A = this chain, B = another copy of it.
Amino acid sequence: MKPNVCLYDTTLRDGTQGEGVSLSVEDKVKIALRLDQFGIDFIEGGWPGSNPKDMAFFERMKEVKLQNATITAFGSTCRPLVAAADDENLRALLESGVKAVAIFGKSWDLHVTDALKTTLDENIRMVSDSVRFLKSQGLTVLFLAEHFFDGYKANPVYALRVLEAAESAGADWIVLCDTNGGTLPHEVYEIVKTVKGSLQVKLGIHPHNDCELAVANAIAAVQAGAEQVQGTTNGIGERCGNVNLVSVIPNLQLKLGYSCVEPEQLQQLTKLSRFVAEVCNMAMPNNQPFVGNSAFAHKGGIHVSAVLKDPKTYEHIEPELIGNKRRVLVSELSGQSNLLAKTDELDINVELDKQEAREIIQRIKEREFQGYQYEGAEASLSLMLLAAGGKLEQLFTLDSFKILMEKSADRSILSEATVKLQVNGQLVHTAAEGNGPVNALDNALRKALETHFPCLAEMQLTDYKVRVLDESGATAAKVRVLIESGRNGEKWSTVGVSTNVIEASWEALVDSIRYLLWKEGCKLSEPEEKVEARAGIVNH
């Protein structure tokens, strides 16, 4: 039986050092709650004293009850020539009210003399005094040996002396940091092995991803005897990021037999990753290992037919173990078997004969050539398949729309849209304003349709993305708009393409509405109503 590996997540502190990452206090609370549910042991919340937001987080967390995790505050050892008990930074750690603290100290002699501008002995005193002081206050203390691997390579005797000082002073954990991310896995393995032989205290590893080797380094350290991994969710963090715990955990647990979280918690891994990406407002790379949208997606014809026969042939683990799922991609490389697998996956009950299937594949290819992409817009694909199978009723058609925007130096911009639709044999003409042209159009369109189809009132647009297809043409180039819509927790995505961003948005908007109406089984009204309605134009 292999030992448990302790998980330490620093998304809320080291993660926010990443370029473009910024979290509000409430964002941080939301993430902390999810990490706790998932089974993370230590959640590093911030650096008390470095900025007001971090202190506000620790205040908020005093009111929040966690199931399992220990909220941890980050800081440094005391400064040179200052006693630990008098040090402002250490005082701030105590004021944060946490039960565990992680303090970093120097273990690379170059940093002591050149960055810190003090003596090697004074640095040892700082480490020892700080750990001892924090332990005397009843805290769990993790000592983070900054730049440990570079330090060990430069001066192994001194680097070990720093660790021994932390151990003697009573540190609960010593964490070896590859701060610059430049160490290779075989070096990590050998150095951790040596340290393990010299100390009694439990060891952790804190790798960075500058060489695209952070996950391998975390694994190598655990194989050499480390019992804690410090990283971030999705690997966000300064420069190339911290090690990605989302990849470390399934490797340790499913491949190597270590125990990190409960199997039911592991099934939440994909959701956790996507949740954190959303709160951080970061695009999840489709190809993210384990949890990405493409991680178990099969495109090439050979792969698809083999994976349908026996998933083990082209999948290294069962996607369900980590809450992800298998996908079959429709693309220009696809054949007919992909299309049939797809209609099953989309749960669309259409029967296509060989000729119809060939035509619809041809049509998908043409549209992909024009810039459509159905891989990220499966609701639009469903509509195409339904229409091809004669299963889609045209519930409304466009006569025309107009948009007017006006901006003067002293007034903010105005956007107004008018829409003329044929609905159920009536001409419906509506007008609406909005925060922008697409929003005005969306509002006018809903106004025109909501009385006929009340379910639209519950539908929300949850994401709106614009991609320029031929970037060299810039504002005159073709754009692809992807819209994600939601209703009662269900989400679907649609696509539109045009050289005009408004026309592309219109197309995706209309698809998102059509898809909901199809899902809801909406039909045209009874004939008698139609007759009444034909009497005149309805203006809302």
Q: Which residues of A contact B (CB under 8 A)?
A: 17-20, 22, 51, 110-111, 114-115, 147, 179-182, 184-186, 209-213, 215-216, 219-220, 223, 235-241, 244, 247, 250-251, 255-256, 278, 281, 283, 285-290, 292-300, 303, 306, 309-310, 312-317, 329, 331-333, 368, 373, 375-376, 397-409, 412-413, 415, 434-439, 442, 460-466, 468-469, 471-472, 474-477, 479, 483-484, 498-503, 505-506
Specify which of B293, B310, B402 is in contact with A404 (CB 8 Å cutoff): B402
The distance in angstroms between the C-alpha atoms of A119 and B270, with both chains bound, is 40
| B-chain residues with CB within 8 Å of residue A210 when the two chains form the complex | 289-290, 295, 316
Specify which of B220, B292, B474, B505 is in contact with A240 (CB 8 Å cutoff): B292
Specify which of B239, B294, B499 is in contact with A297 (CB 8 Å cutoff): B239
| B-chain residues with CB within 8 Å of residue A296 when the two chains form the complex | 239
Specify which of B20, B184, B397 is in contact with A256 (CB 8 Å cutoff): B184
The distance in angstroms between the C-alpha atoms of A315 and B244, with both chains bound, is 20
Contact A501 B437 (CB under 8 A): yes
The distance in angstroms between the C-alpha atoms of A332 and B186, with both chains bound, is 38
| B-chain residues with CB within 8 Å of residue A292 when the two chains form the complex | 240
| B-chain residues with CB within 8 Å of residue A471 when the two chains form the complex | 278, 281, 462-464
Q: Nearest chain-B residue to A477 (Cβ)?
A: B464
Check A408/B404 contact, CB under 8 A, given A19-B287, A20-B373, A213-B251. Answer: no
The distance in angstroms between the C-alpha atoms of A285 and B299, with both chains bound, is 23
Specify which of B19, B299, B368, B413 is in contact with A294 (CB 8 Å cutoff): B19
Interchain Cβ contacts under 8 Å between A and B, 17 examples: A17-B299, A19-B286, A115-B313, A209-B289, A213-B216, A238-B303, A239-B295, A241-B287, A283-B283, A398-B409, A403-B406, A403-B437, A412-B503, A436-B502, A460-B474, A462-B471, A464-B475
Q: Nearest chain-B residue to A468 (Cβ)?
A: B464
Contact B213 A500 (CB under 8 A): no
Contact A400 B404 (CB under 8 A): no
Contact A289 B436 (CB under 8 A): no
The distance in angstroms between the C-alpha atoms of A263 and B292, with both chains bound, is 35
The distance in angstroms between the C-alpha atoms of A404 and B278, with both chains bound, is 35
| B-chain residues with CB within 8 Å of residue A181 when the two chains form the complex | 316
The distance in angstroms between the C-alpha atoms of A469 and B407, with both chains bound, is 22
Contact A434 B310 (CB under 8 A): no
The distance in angstroms between the C-alpha atoms of A298 and B442, with both chains bound, is 42
Contact B185 A407 (CB under 8 A): no
Contact B180 A315 (CB under 8 A): yes
Contact A439 B475 (CB under 8 A): yes
| B-chain residues with CB within 8 Å of residue A503 when the two chains form the complex | 407, 412-413, 436
Contact B475 A461 (CB under 8 A): yes
| B-chain residues with CB within 8 Å of residue A312 when the two chains form the complex | 110
| B-chain residues with CB within 8 Å of residue A238 when the two chains form the complex | 294, 297-300, 303
Contact B114 A180 (CB under 8 A): no
Contact B462 A501 (CB under 8 A): no
Check A465/B462 contact, CB under 8 A, given A115-B313, A240-B294, A408-B399. Answer: no
Contact A435 B476 (CB under 8 A): yes
Contact B211 A255 (CB under 8 A): yes
| B-chain residues with CB within 8 Å of residue A409 when the two chains form the complex | 397-400
